[in-house]
A and B are shown apart, each in its own frame.
Chain A
Amino acid sequence: MLPDNDTRFDASGQAWLNQLASRHHNDASLLLQMLREMQERFGHIPQEAVSRLAGKLAIPRARIESVASFYSFLHLKPQGEYRILFSDNITDRMLGNQALLEQMCQLLWLQPGKVSEDGLVSIGTTSCTGMCDQGPALLVNGRAITRLTHQRVQEIAQLVRNRTPMADWPADFFHVDDNIRRRGLLLDNKLAPGDVLRAALALGSDAIIEEIKTSGLRGRGGAGFPTGQKWEGCRKAPGNERYVVCNADEGEPGTFKDRVLLAQQADLVFEGMTLCALSVGARKGFLYLRGEYRYLLEPLQAVLQRRQDSKLLGTDILGHKGFDFNIDIHLGAGAYICGEESALIESLEGKRGVPRNRPPFPVTHGYLQQPTAVDNVETFCQAALALHMGADKYRTIGTERSSGSKLISVSGDCAYPGIYEYPFGVPIREILQDCGAVNTRAVQVSGPSGVCVPESEFGRKLGFEDLPTAGAFMVFDDSRDLFEVARNFVHFFAHESCGFCTPCRVGTSMLKQTMDKIADGHGTQYDLNEIENLDRVLQTSSHCGLGRTACNPVLHTLKHFRPAYENKLKSLMFSPAFDLDGSLARARQMTGRDDAGAHLKEDV
């Protein structure tokens, strides 16, 4: 680790910091947004800058450290000038990201997780970056690079060694494909900006909510809460202000449909948010965009500006007196938990993304404790469509209790990964056929927190009746070890646990250790029992959905693919996790020895 010499925080840095604070009106609720800009500017958040900012915002400096240390893309210690993070979802692994990471480390002479001695570069891994349809992917200083190959890794290493400014890197590196494979009512819509709002203004707030309720629309973020009911609750809750929040955190590994909607249908997203604002009586909205999608910020801001200019946002929208609404974009900084709605609100308020105690729920006590409607990106699109086409017509699409269509993010072992839009009720088998998957062993529906569906159940249908989904659809063929899939997901949860509650903070780490122990060949029946014990504790006492679902990957794969575990177990009842030989690794490294005499035998 380098000393925190803060060489990057000189007089011009200080002037910049003063300007940053005044641009944000010295408002501590914008702390995270300021920290994110500091990270971009300095490559880390210098100690001295923390103290100065604390003074400006009149908050304790420990609070700034506390917030900064929560988000994985913010660093309180100097990192490399080039910070490279390999996306480490199971789909990236299946596409060979580990060999690429090793190659990059060799080319740049450093170890993963370390900063090179000259301070030039640091290399590590990060949770799924939402590029599973074009992986393996990585982030360099927050910018996504997709479709990695050994060739591309070599080129990147060369650019880094030459200290080429990122603005001069080949544009092709940063190209992100939309990969839309199948369209339906959403992706095929021919709406022009303002169409929905004009229809809505003719209806009035109460009728809008009625229409959304009648349409049967349910949230697309995973939980499937009836959208009309949420909007009505928000409208009726007592409060001085109301807020609309679009959840674009899209952190569930294997999900990337919101990325495509924000790239392709930004107008429809904002139109849906404005529709919601009209119906609940909100004047202010936020789009919470995950840090991994930083590259979408400027294009989205341009759309907001265009909508301002054409009176679709701002004051007296479409000439309607008193219909005022504005949208701010807030960026996240690498924390899956901020997709949970109350953690998202905490993060919007510039705090650590820790889920709140509920009740009360955000509809009554959300942003700044005021009534707030939080919905997923796709939900806002679907609401706009449902209102425009009419509730009765909308209801005819999909199934009885799951109306409308759903965007599915397909990745993994298939010929055509990408975005597929289907009416609800589509069987898994049909999607597998469409995406060109063969010899499929299992599909992970709705990401690590969802369900692992084995081949015998490919007749099951997507929808709230059977398999609810936020959209992820990861395909595994018969060459894949489902134990390794589950282990990857368990690592994900341990890394993303916010650490607030005991069961999840400690339990996910214990689970990770146990899975690693089994992978290393030290597992026994005892460890399988421990998994069951951990599952019980996580499910019954965790504070939020992350902890409550963290065991799912293990439970589901144990249920359907038990041999994948058992053939890694020792026959013993118990085997210590302490690895005598492993503990000598450091000594071997220091002495430069790796001969037989420097190793202990297993059976000593």
Chain B
Amino acid sequence: MSDTFQLDGAAVPFEPGQTVMQAALAAGHYIPHLCYHPEFKPHGSCKLCTVKVNGRTTASCTMPAEANLNVESNIEELNALRRTLVQMLFAEGNHFCPSCEKSGNCMLQALGYDLEVHATGFRHLYPDRPLDASHPDVLLDFNRCILCELCVRASSEVDGKNVFALSGRGITKHLIVNAESGKLSDTDFALYDKAMQVCPVGVILPKRVGFSQPIGERRYDKRPISAQALDDAPRQVDTSGNCEACEDPT
């Protein structure tokens, strides 16, 4: 019998080496998350997954599971924290959901609905982040970047291309492209790259397919993210490199 820890009163089994998040999702318990992706090493930056472990707050995606931990997640104090973090992410970038191609497929938006974020909360920072439309097949709209580094990780770890990196520090931190010109067209980025599939928000977009799937029939239009995320949980990649849960970019 494997060891267990307590999550909101339920016993959750885990394998050695799993984090609290990994064990929870595998056992069918949802903990909100944004920068965590089942196929990548946990990053621990968005802090949406913050839980209380034996009374102390910590990110559950990076917290190693241990026997008999007492983990609290779905409590008002933490959901209030998560609402504020979502508000912060909205205020930091330029998000105009009604006109965004990603609307309905966006994790940030879906989390906003699921956590019942009803107000903007903060003054928006309105950063100046020009688009990059140089690539024939892909548009980069940096306005929506939440700096989760999933594309950075996918491009380097899976695609072996290192197309993306982060630049700057603090609130000036932003995504850059690996080219002296700074343009995506001067890289070997391609539509079938893993980095094309992982962006939780609407930054890395395939061109010319924007609204081919109508709003209202999209991923999180059908099911709230808390249910959807569990189906995706230990996401399996098939032999052709396709991930069932990731959206098909074409």
* Contact B180–A61 (Cβ < 8 Å): yes
Query: Does chain A have a CB within 8 A of B42?
Result: yes
Query: Does chain B have a CB within 8 A of A399?
Result: no
| Given the contacts A509-B125, A537-B81, A62 and B168 also touching, CB distance less than 8 Å | no
| Given the contacts A62-B178, A513-B123, A541 and B165 also touching, CB distance less than 8 Å | no
Query: Does chain A have a CB within 8 A of B169?
Result: yes
B window 153-211: CB within 8 A of A = 162-173, 176-180
* Contact B64–A500 (Cβ < 8 Å): no
Residue of A65, A508, A510 near B167 (CB, 8 A) is: A65
CA distance A501 to B81 in the complex (A): 14
Query: Does chain A have a CB within 8 A of B79?
Result: no
* Contact A543–B47 (Cβ < 8 Å): yes
16 inter-chain pairs at a CB distance below 8 angstroms, sorted by A residue, are A62-B164, A66-B176, A69-B168, A494-B171, A501-B46, A501-B47, A502-B45, A502-B85, A502-B89, A505-B173, A506-B89, A506-B91, A507-B88, A508-B171, A510-B91, A577-B123
A4 to chain B, nearest CB (A): 10
A window 56-108: CB within 8 A of B = 60-63, 65-66, 69-72
Per-position 1/0 for B78-102, Cβ under 8 A of A: 0001001100110110000000000
Query: Does chain A have a CB within 8 A of B122?
Result: yes
Chain B residues with Cβ below 8 Å from A499 are: 147, 168-173
Query: Does chain A have a CB within 8 A of B103?
Result: no
Q: How many residues of A contact B (CB 8 A)?
A: 43
CA distance A359 to B50 in the complex (A): 16
Chain B residues with Cβ below 8 Å from A47 are: 180
* Contact B47–A541 (Cβ < 8 Å): yes
* Contact B50–A51 (Cβ < 8 Å): no
Chain A residues with Cβ below 8 Å from B89 are: 502, 506
Q: Which residue of B lies closest to A59 (CB)?
A: B162
A window 484-528: CB within 8 A of B = 494-503, 505-510, 513
A window 190-227: CB within 8 A of B = none
* Contact B88–A66 (Cβ < 8 Å): no
| Given the contacts A357-B62, A502-B47, A503-B88, A63 and B42 also touching, CB distance less than 8 Å | no
B121 to chain A, nearest CB (A): 9
Residue of B44, B48, B169, B180 near A357 (CB, 8 A) is: B44
Chain A residues with Cβ below 8 Å from B59 are: 357, 541, 543
* Contact A541–B85 (Cβ < 8 Å): yes
* Contact A540–B44 (Cβ < 8 Å): no
The 5 closest A-B CB pairs, nearest first, are A62-B165, A62-B178, A499-B173, A506-B88, A60-B162
Starting from the known contacts A50-B180, A502-B146, A543-B59, 13 additional A-B residue pairs (CB-CB under 8 Å) come to A48-B180, A51-B180, A65-B167, A70-B169, A352-B169, A357-B59, A359-B64, A494-B170, A501-B46, A509-B171, A537-B84, A541-B50, A541-B85
Chain A residues with Cβ below 8 Å from B62 are: 357
Q: Which residue of A lies closest to B146 (CB)?
A: A502
Chain A residues with Cβ below 8 Å from B68 are: none
Query: Does chain A have a CB within 8 A of B57?
Result: yes
Name which of B50, B170, B171 has the most chain A CB atoms within 10 A of its CB: B170
Per-position 1/0 for B102-132, Cβ under 8 A of A: 0000000000000000000011010000000
Chain A residues with Cβ below 8 Å from B122 are: 506, 510
Query: Does chain B have a CB within 8 A of A536?
Result: yes
* Contact A500–B45 (Cβ < 8 Å): yes
* Contact A66–B85 (Cβ < 8 Å): no
Query: Does chain B have a CB within 8 A of A533?
Result: yes
* Contact A60–B178 (Cβ < 8 Å): yes
Q: Which residue of A lies closest to B177 (CB)?
A: A62
CA distance A60 to B172 in the complex (A): 21
CA distance A540 to B81 in the complex (A): 9
Query: Does chain B have a CB within 8 A of A276?
Result: no
A6 to chain B, nearest CB (A): 11
Chain B residues with Cβ below 8 Å from A502 are: 45-48, 85, 88-89, 146
Chain A residues with Cβ below 8 Å from B64 are: 359
Residue of A62, A65, A359, A509 near B170 (CB, 8 A) is: A509
Q: Which residue of B lies closest to A54 (CB)?
A: B178
B7 to chain A, nearest CB (A): 18
Query: Does chain B have a CB within 8 A of A335?
Result: yes
A580 to chain B, nearest CB (A): 15
Chain B residues with Cβ below 8 Å from A541 are: 47, 50, 57, 59, 81, 85
CA distance A495 to B170 in the complex (A): 7
CA distance A544 to B119 in the complex (A): 28
* Contact A65–B176 (Cβ < 8 Å): yes
CA distance A66 to B172 in the complex (A): 12
Per-position 1/0 for B59-70, Cβ under 8 A of A: 100101000000
| Given the contacts A65-B165, A501-B47, A536-B81, A506 and B171 also touching, CB distance less than 8 Å | yes
Name which of A359, A498, A502, A507 has the most chain B CB atoms within 10 A of its CB: A502
Q: Which residue of B lies closest to A514 (CB)?
A: B123
Residue of A69, A507, A509 near B169 (CB, 8 A) is: A69
CA distance A61 to B162 in the complex (A): 9
Chain A residues with Cβ below 8 Å from B91 are: 506, 510
A536 to chain B, nearest CB (A): 7
B120 to chain A, nearest CB (A): 12
Name which of B64, B84, B92, B179 has the most chain A CB atoms within 10 A of its CB: B84
Q: Which residue of A lies closest to B166 (CB)?
A: A66
A357 to chain B, nearest CB (A): 4
Chain A residues with Cβ below 8 Å from B45 are: 500-502, 543
CA distance A60 to B159 in the complex (A): 14
Chain B residues with Cβ below 8 Å from A359 are: 64
Chain A residues with Cβ below 8 Å from B146 are: 502
B25 to chain A, nearest CB (A): 18
CA distance A400 to B155 in the complex (A): 54
CA distance A69 to B175 in the complex (A): 12
B window 10-48: CB within 8 A of A = 42, 44-48
Chain A residues with Cβ below 8 Å from B179 are: 61-62
* Contact A335–B57 (Cβ < 8 Å): no
Chain B residues with Cβ below 8 Å from A69 are: 167-169
* Contact B44–A543 (Cβ < 8 Å): yes
* Contact A506–B92 (Cβ < 8 Å): yes
Chain A residues with Cβ below 8 Å from B169 are: 69-72, 335, 352, 497-499
Q: Which residue of B lies closest to A356 (CB)?
A: B44
CA distance A509 to B91 in the complex (A): 11
Chain A residues with Cβ below 8 Å from B57 are: 540-541
